[in-house]
Amino acid sequence: MAEHNDLGKLGEELAVEYLQKDGYVILETNWTFQKAEVDIIAKKENILAIVEVKTRSSLDFGLPQDFVKPKKIQLLVKAVDAYVIEKDLDINVRFDIIAIHKEGKAFAIEHLIDAFYHF
């Protein structure tokens, strides 16, 4: 597996731990619908948090959250609509980003709540 794939997998594992410590229940990881993959679907109270995880080894090329492009947002919205219908959920949906980057030997984690809006 390529090194960036390992880093991405590690980032997703760190994000799951982070969310669980913050009181979220993880419903799904790497949930797919058509061409979209949702990294984490989590629930806290009456909020369904759709979490895109972006992990970078450095900030040399920009902040991790800057790599969530409009096309990805469009795919996520479509996938989440399908998920909510499939599971017959009556819940508020929020789109978050967890941005992770390496700082020395550790990782900095930033949880951006309501990171983008769907139209």
What's residue 119's pLDDT? 45
Domains of the chain by range and CATH?
3-92+100-108 (3.40.1350.10)
- pLDDT (tens digit per residue) in 62-100: 777 777 888 888 999 999 999 999 999 999 999 999 999
The distance of Cα 47 from the centroid of its chain, to the nearest Å, equals 14
Inform me whether the pLDDT recorded for 16 exceeds 50: yes
Average pLDDT over residues 24-47: 96
DSSP label at residue 74: H
The distance of Cα 70 from the centroid of its chain, to the nearest Å, equals 15
Of the pLDDT bands very low, low, confident and very high (cuts 50, 70, 90), residue 3 is low
Does this model's pTM top 0.85? My answer is yes
Residue 21 and residue 32: Cα distance in Å, rounded? 25
Residue 66 and residue 50: Cα distance in Å, rounded? 17
